[in-house]
Structure 1
Amino acid sequence: MSDEERRDSLADQAAAWIPPWERPTPPKPEGTETEPEPAPDPDLGTGAPLEGPDRTKIAEAVESAGEPEAVPGAVEPARVAEDAVGGDARPGEPEGEGGASGVPGKRGRRRPTPEPEPAPVLDDAELRGALEAILLVVDQPVSELTLAQVLEQSPERIGPMLDEIAAGYTAAGHGFELRRAAGGWRLYTRPEYATYVERFVLEGQSVRLTQAALETLAVIAYKQPVTRSRISAIRGVNCDGVIRTLVSRGLVEECGTEADSGAFLYRTTTMFLEKLGLNSVDDLPPLAPFLPDDVEELADATR
């Protein structure tokens, strides 16, 4: 169909178009009430029938129909739909929990998460009492960092307070003392009362180590890390059974292998330090005062 024929067709259709207000009203059945006709919209005109020139204008409008031009200041439908679903807050608009203008369902900047309230700072008397209560129930030395985490206090306060508590026990002459052991703190009985404590604990029990076990444990403590063959060479007897006993008691443990021979190395454990009340193996007493005067002659004789 050519453009001219298309235009004539559109013009004929426009000319034959009858407005709704001119169309004949179908008859209503009897007994029904007649509804009042709605008032004409002032924006649509008076509702009078269109004359010939008006119909010609309609035909021309249909002929030149196309996409509507954007009207300055008009709101885009996509923008309206986006605002209805929820979009980012526009500049100058208040922001609430729901987003722009505080309306639920609209996206906006989230409020910052409130930080937890800091733990209350304990005064010196309360901190001292809390530390003493914990130290009475621990079954192994506890570190300053662990105490600080449990009490929610600064680690810088724990160390000086423990030193103060230990000094107070010593000054008061209590039968127990607070001292460092195995990297932590624990309450111990004083050495001058060891006889009474030993009598109470070991009454009717046989838990002491044998002389061979004590000698082997001493060699490991002063020579660690040391191999099994080296221990046997120092003692002059086979120590395999004794070492197994010390390992089962938790006083000795394996700590790798020797690079040259591949033999297992042994060292003392944290339990060893705890039982002796030592903070590290550096606190072991020196061996020189316990060696005989002719130790060099004995060493030459055994070669």
Structure 2
Amino acid sequence: MTETHAGDTRALEALLFVSDEPITIPVIAQALELDRKAADELCDRLMKELEDRGAGVVLRNVAGGWRLFTHPDTAPEVERFVLSSRQARLTKAALETLAIVAYKQPVTRHQVSSIRGVNSDGVLRALQDKGLVEEAGREETPGRPILFATTPTFLERLGLPSLASLPSLAPLLGPDADEGANEGDDEEQEPAGAEAATTEPAESPE
């Protein structure tokens, strides 16, 4: 096993600072000339050091790699800065479409539009341009429509290690969400042809 030293921690911080995407352990190991186990332990150590000193950034393992994020406690200040800087933000339509893709993926363009009730072609293209959504093959149905899914960048932006970490929708739906599905199960069903049996007889010709 390759030994690490203080200079490695400093170098790791520098790598994480200049990277615009999560850095995998193999890449870190190669850059710092360490074996993978040592690189992994170095990341764990830096993560703890940042926490212990109350730094304004935290180190997280997301989307298969390590990346620096602003500390959750600094959210109000960061939000004010972002808003005052007029940074580009996702529109309501984009957030809605992204949520549908995230929870229903892989999903077709038509399925997204059907759920939203409006054409979503332009929104999907915008999400693709931002690197949050990508094509994920084709559905084996007539016409073979394109399927869409979220990207590693989506996980990275949300600070999630995998799609399995997405919050459950159940608490948002409420306890009565599926009552309608069973409504009427206990009601007596009318026999077939009942409607025809109760119709008035045709008038006799005069």
Aligned length: 181
Q: Calculate the aligned-residue CA RMSD, in Å.
A: 2.1
Scaled by the length of structure 2, the TM-score of the pair is: 0.79
Residue equivalent to 1:269: 151
AA of the residue aligned to 2:28 = L
Residue equivalent to 1:78: none
Q: Note if contact 2:3-2:38 (Cα within 8 Å) is conserved in structure 1.
A: no
Secondary structure of the equivalent of 2:84? Answer: coil
Q: Could you say which structure has the larger radius of gyration?
A: 1
Secondary structure of the equivalent of 1:243? Answer: helix
1:292 equivalent to 2:174? Answer: yes
Percent of aligned positions that are identical: 49
Residue equivalent to 1:239: 120
What are the equivalent positions in structure 2 for 1:15-30 lying under 5 Å apart?
none
Change (3 A) 1:297 1:140: same
CA distance in 2 between counterparts of 1:170 and 1:300 reads 50
Q: CA deviation at 1:202?
A: 2.6
Q: 2:83 aligns with which of 202, 221, 224?
A: 202
1:249 equivalent to 2:130? Answer: yes
AA of the residue aligned to 2:133 = V
CA distance in 2 between counterparts of 1:200 and 1:126 reads 32
Secondary structure of the equivalent of 1:202? Answer: helix
CA distance in 2 between counterparts of 1:150 and 1:254 reads 32
AA of the residue aligned to 1:218 = A
Superposed CA offset, 1:242-267 (max 9, x none): 21221222211111100123010001
Superposed CA offset, 1:213-254 (max 9, x none): 111100101111111122222223322222122122221111
AA of the residue aligned to 1:211 = K
Q: CA deviation at 1:203?
A: 1.1
AA of the residue aligned to 2:95 = L
AA of the residue aligned to 1:185 = W
CA distance in 1 between counterparts of 2:115 and 2:12 reads 45
Secondary structure of the equivalent of 2:128? Answer: helix
Q: CA deviation at 1:177?
A: 0.3
CA distance in 1 between counterparts of 2:110 and 2:182 reads 20
More moved, 143-152 vs 130-139 = 130-139
Q: 1:183 aligns with which of 42, 60, 64?
A: 64
Secondary structure of the equivalent of 2:125? Answer: helix
Q: Note if contact 2:108-2:148 (Cα within 8 Å) is conserved in structure 1.
A: yes
Superposed CA offset, 1:162-212 (max 9, x none): 112112212222221000122111110012211211211231516222212
Secondary structure of the equivalent of 2:168? Answer: coil
What are the equivalent positions in structure 2 for 1:63-142 lying under 5 Å apart?
121-142=2-23
Unmatched 5+ residue regions in structure 2? 184-206
Residue equivalent to 2:102: 221
Scaled by the length of structure 1, the TM-score of the pair is: 0.55
Superposed CA offset, 1:130-166 (max 9, x none): 2122112211111010011111211110111211211
